[in-house]
Structure 1
Amino acid sequence: MARVTIAQVAAAAGVSKATASRALNDHPDVGAGAVARVRAAARNLGFVPSASAVRLARGSQRTVGLLVSSLAWPWMLQVLGGVAAEAEARGFTLVLQTLSRGEKSLTAFLHQVQSNAIDGIVAIEPPGGLPALTELHERRGLPIVMIDDRVSRPRFPSVATTNERGAYEVARHLAETGARRIGVITGPPEYTFCAERDRGWRRALREHGIELRDELVLRTDMSDRRSYDATGELLARDPDLDAVLAVGDVVALAALRRLREDGVRVPDDVAVVGFDDIPAAALAVPSLTTVRQPMYAMGEVAVRLLIDLIGGAAAPAEPLVTPTELIVRESSTRH
């Protein structure tokens, strides 16, 4: 399908190309009526400004933004490390914005963007922030790259990992060690990575003749407290449980703590596996079998892609994928 041009938008709105361009870039010398007509035409035609045109209109500040919900998740610092290192290597300044104050934080960040202080954004999808990011991308042509989106597949470029394959490999590993009565502690099904990992686990276990029992699949908010409680609930529902599949390492570490406190030996009585390979996974006792999610590399790749887009490169049609890796440690290795 041919790309909609600014000339087509201008013709539909009944204005010149120059006026259409100024209207889409919020120049103050365009009347409100013309701005409304141009924006309506752009929306109806599905017009997305090219990154190179936007850069020329605004002037590059050589500044990129990183928008995240919070830095509380252990793997978030790995993302930040990759983003910061690559931005510095490419000669760009990095602006970090968390949403610790919710809507106020998002509004403050959007004000920075709209004042043309930021050339593009790397984002880990913020709760409630997708509409604003989509508006910036589709109406203003601001380059945006999403990392491992949590809820949806937005209409701008993204960097992803092999969630389903990683989950498949770790569940297959459990089955091959002899686990049969397996409990799962996962997260909300609307989170993309949870749904992908759920599919991977189920496929691997089916191939080994194991069906997950519905009463042994518990959905939580993935917090330490809730994961600790869910582990106790799994044990109450099946005293003969022999393995726990955790959607993330934070969940798995909480499970290890609960099992230890209940006198359950890991891995001799119950094996435990996680996902992410946060630094604490290797230091746990026993050390945690997990799936290494390449968060640092994902940050690097996201910045490279973003800077290419700022320079006018075409957006890739599919997410850029960095592969996971199964890391086998003590928590699943029965003797």
Structure 2
Amino acid sequence: MATIHDVARHAGVSAATVSRVLNGRETVDPALAVRVQSAVSALGYRRNSVARNLRRRQTTLWAVLISDIENPFFTSLVRGVEDVGRSEGYSVVLCNTDEDTTKESEYIAACLADKMAGVIISPTSDTSDVSPLVEAGTAVVAIDRELSQVTLDTVLVDNEGGAEQATRHLAERGYRRIACITGPRRTSTAIRRLRGYQRAIKATGLTADKSLIRHADFREAGGYAAMAALLDEDVRPDAVFAANNLMTVGALECLVDRGLTVPDDVGVVGFDDIPWARLARPSLTTVGQPTYEMGKSAAQLLSGRIATPGRPATRVTLQTELHIRESTNRPPA
């Protein structure tokens, strides 16, 4: 493999001149620059990015820390980050924290050790500790979930509004015992979606019943277990609002195993659109999130934070959209 010294000998210049040309310095004589570029092409020289980054304060890498790589919600979100990152000259590294605070801390340490230019994080908890990144001057943006102990650039959706709209829709369709399967108490999304559900129950005049609320883990198995517990109550629910896509899948599996039909026995609304939501039978009513736009907005904030570290933190809240399909298709009361 050709080295910078090979290029210098081939072009008849010094290694320092080659370095200045490759780094875009305008102080090099144009004729020499042409000779260097010709030598680079002739020898097939490729710059050692690792060594170059070691000489710099940071790399041209962004890290995206997501809480569950198996959740399709993150697919489009990460694509939005990557598209903006590449246009800005950054490559994106994906890290899966698996809803585990220990793994999250390890990845944060790795981001510092590897001199990441910026980090976008979907925190495992509202109290996730990103202070090592902030104190080191690394640009950080929170996405999907809020952090309570530090003020950062943050990209969210209107979780309360989306949950309220979903629950109101069930009430308008004639369902009266509407259950809610929400996520862990430590996450802002679970808290806010539960608040939206409760607000709709109150606004529609339905009876608030704590036995209709279950906290799960944002995973499929958690949704299944929560739905099973709801069905085992003395009086079962006639509808359920599940606060993320994987728990919706688990709840549907449980209803099938119990021999209950959707929407006649139990109406179902999920939060997050699912790729096959329109293809399932019955098709699934969902609260859609603009996931690509979330990733794009977070990446734009990160780029802006890198360029202007001292500017005030920005909070972006995007709107959700209720997609009404067959899983709530009970005629209105």
TM over 0.5: yes
With over 3 angstroms needed to count, the CA separation of the structure-2 counterparts of 1:104 and 1:251, relative to structure 1, is closer
Question: 1:126, CA displacement in angstroms?
Answer: 4.2
Question: 1:280, CA displacement in angstroms?
Answer: 3.2
Residue in 2 that maps onto 1:280: 276
Mapped contact 1:182–1:212 kept (Cα < 8 A): no
Residues in 1 aligned to 2:261 and 2:161: alpha-carbon distance in whole angstroms: 28
Mapped contact 2:67–2:97 kept (Cα < 8 A): yes
Residue in 1 that maps onto 2:120: 122
Question: 1:65, CA displacement in angstroms?
Answer: 1.7
With over 3 angstroms needed to count, the CA separation of the structure-2 counterparts of 1:239 and 1:115, relative to structure 1, is closer
Q: Does 1:234 align with 2:207?
A: no
Superposed, which structure 2 residues align to 1:146-295 within 5 Å? 146-149=142-145, 152=148, 154-239=150-235, 241-295=237-291
Residues in 2 aligned to 1:121 and 1:154: alpha-carbon distance in whole angstroms: 15
Q: Match of 1:63, as an amino acid?
A: L
Q: Match of 2:133, as an amino acid?
A: L
Residues in 1 aligned to 2:107 and 2:149: alpha-carbon distance in whole angstroms: 25
Residues in 2 aligned to 1:230 and 1:183: alpha-carbon distance in whole angstroms: 10
Superposed, which structure 2 residues align to 1:294-309 within 5 Å? 294-309=290-305
Residues in 2 aligned to 1:214 and 1:105: alpha-carbon distance in whole angstroms: 33
Q: Does 1:110 align with 2:106?
A: no
Mapped contact 1:227–1:255 kept (Cα < 8 A): yes
Question: 1:175, CA displacement in angstroms?
Answer: 0.9
Residue in 2 that maps onto 1:20: none
Q: 2:65 aligns with which of 53, 57, 67?
A: 67
Residues in 2 aligned to 1:309 and 1:263: alpha-carbon distance in whole angstroms: 53
Q: What are the ranges of 5 or more consecutive residues in structure 1 without an aligned counterpart? A: 1-56
Residues in 1 aligned to 2:217 and 2:87: alpha-carbon distance in whole angstroms: 37
Q: Match of 1:269, as an amino acid?
A: D
SS of alignment partner, residue 278 of structure 2: helix
Residues in 2 aligned to 1:128 and 1:180: alpha-carbon distance in whole angstroms: 33
Q: 1:84 aligns with which of 66, 82, 85?
A: 82
Task: Name the TM-score, length of structure 1 as normaliser.
Answer: 0.74
* Per-residue deviation, residues 237-266 of structure 1 (Å, max 9, x unmatched): 144531111111211222222222222121
Residues in 1 aligned to 2:107 and 2:205: alpha-carbon distance in whole angstroms: 53
Mapped contact 2:180–2:197 kept (Cα < 8 A): no
Question: 1:89, CA displacement in angstroms?
Answer: 2.2
Q: What are the ranges of 5 or more consecutive residues in structure 2 without an aligned counterpart? A: 1-54
Residues in 1 aligned to 2:298 and 2:124: alpha-carbon distance in whole angstroms: 16
Question: 1:112, CA displacement in angstroms?
Answer: 4.7
Question: 1:304, CA displacement in angstroms?
Answer: 0.6
Q: 2:319 aligns with which of 291, 310, 323?
A: 323
Question: 1:62, CA displacement in angstroms?
Answer: 3.2
- Percent sequence identity is 35
Question: 1:141, CA displacement in angstroms?
Answer: 1.7
Task: Name the TM-score, length of structure 2 as normaliser.
Answer: 0.75
Residues in 2 aligned to 1:104 and 1:205: alpha-carbon distance in whole angstroms: 38
SS of alignment partner, residue 91 of structure 1: coil
Mapped contact 1:69–1:127 kept (Cα < 8 A): no
Aligned residues: 276
With over 3 angstroms needed to count, the CA separation of the structure-2 counterparts of 1:280 and 1:312, relative to structure 1, is same
Question: 1:120, CA displacement in angstroms?
Answer: 1.1
* Per-residue deviation, residues 122-170 of structure 1 (Å, max 9, x unmatched): 1111469932x22221x22211001022663632211111000000111
* Per-residue deviation, residues 245-300 of structure 1 (Å, max 9, x unmatched): 11112112222222222221211121011101121333332111111112221111
- Cα RMSD (Å) of the superposition? 2.6
SS of alignment partner, residue 277 of structure 2: helix
Mapped contact 1:147–1:159 kept (Cα < 8 A): yes
SS of alignment partner, residue 130 of structure 1: coil
Question: 1:317, CA displacement in angstroms?
Answer: 4.0
Residues in 1 aligned to 2:243 and 2:64: alpha-carbon distance in whole angstroms: 25
Residues in 2 aligned to 1:130 and 1:240: alpha-carbon distance in whole angstroms: 36
Mapped contact 2:127–2:148 kept (Cα < 8 A): no
Q: Match of 2:207, as an amino acid?
A: E
Question: 1:190, CA displacement in angstroms?
Answer: 2.2
